[in-house]
Amino acid sequence: MVSHAHQGTTSSALTRLNVNAARSLGIPPAGYAHLPGLAPEHLDDDLCRPPALTSIRIAELATVHAPWTEVARVMTRQSGIGSLGVWDYLFTSAPTPLEGMRDASAYLGTVVDTGTDSVRMSEDGDEVTVSHLNEADLAHEAACAVRACALGLYQRRLGEAAQRTLVPVRVALAARTPARHDALTELYGTRTIEFEAPVSSITFRAADLNAPSPHAQPGLSGVLRRHAEQTLATAVPLRNWLDLFRAALASPHDGGAPTLSAVAGRMAVSTRTLQRRLDEHGTTWSNEVETVRREQITRLLHGTDLSIDAIAARSDYADARALRRAVQRWYDTTPAALRRTGRPHRGARAGLGDEPAEPVPGARR
């Protein structure tokens, strides 16, 4: 259900949450604005998944400016319903808060890096315990803040599903005992907080989580689960420079086809530097643009009823004949056959053949 392709990244929504918390704590943007994935075209695009390291560095910076207990409280306060996208509504649409928690656990990857974060649920008679494990390479204070925030977030979403405040039976944190924990008492609504625990967890009365959710809608949970799957399927991971370049290349461009100078401008580098970095990654501008066009054309053939002429026009080919030559080169078949079969021919060359590629718009400065 969670793609390994997304490990090492988090949702742009979670990254925005970290940025908003940093602003609330008065941290100067100069300290984090340069981090990868924080360019507006990435941060504001819900299809992009910035590097997990970006959120980690912001959390570490936050705990330099404020106690980790306060950072956890501020981060949770910033996370209003809807701030984390479809994941939030998996809680509130389910028949009960407990079922919502199960759905949210299954699709945790829509928000966090499942290579480092996971959630477990256990039921023991009259109690239900939600445990959050975080194994990211964070500074200790930042790790404490992230774990405390995760529990606060689960409590908040479960309360939103129940439409009332849910006070936990107890809270356990895999964190050093702080000098003061007033912020955590306010966050969880209880003084029953254990520190130095092996795993961070929050425990509720089973009766509270099994009560019907007031705003549950029959069938909506299934729709949202499918939406969560689609979110993961279409997400664009941004783990490194090449991922960031490809996201900038694939994003909409004024005036149609992307140009070398326009993409270089988005990435705040010169065209010469951009070409050099592509060379360092074993690729070229022309190859990258060709790949984007191939993926776009394949999607249009499989997912629309557009004519070959219309697809050629959308893809900046001179005419349908040029498009047919390109598809033959990529997949060793025709556009019509590719559309009928729904998949590339077994002998597909995917652009790796010996024939020269069609001229690519914007390939030269």
Provide the Cα torsion 232, 235, 238, 242; round to 10°. Answer: 130
Q: Tell me the pairing of strands 127-134 and 236-237.
A: unpaired
Q: What is residue 268's three-state secondary structure?
A: coil
Number of Cβ within 10 Å of residue 59's Cβ equals: 26
Helices (H), the chain: 12-24, 40-43, 52-65, 68-78, 86-93, 97-106, 140-162, 182-188, 206-210, 220-234, 241-250, 260-266, 271-280, 285-303, 308-314, 320-331, 335-341
Residue type, 8: G
pTM: 0.75
Q: Are strands 127-134 and 117-124 parallel, antiparallel or unpaired?
A: antiparallel
Q: Chunk the chain into consecutive blocks of 10 residues (it has 365) and report each block's average pLDDT, rounded to whole numbers.
A: 74 96 94 89 91 94 96 96 96 96 97 95 96 92 96 98 97 94 97 96 98 92 96 90 85 73 85 94 93 89 90 87 92 91 52 39 38
Domain residue ranges in the chain: 4-232, 240-341
Q: How many residues does the chain have?
A: 365
Which pLDDT belongs to residue 351?
40
17 — alpha (psi -120 to 50), left (phi > 0) or beta? alpha
Closest CA to 201 of 154, 137, 233: 154
Fold of 4-232: H-NOX domain (3.90.1520)
Q: What is the pLDDT of residue 249?
A: 85
pLDDT of residue 341: 81
Q: Which CATH architecture has domain 240-341?
A: Orthogonal Bundle (1.10)
- The predicted structure's pLDDT at residue 253: 64
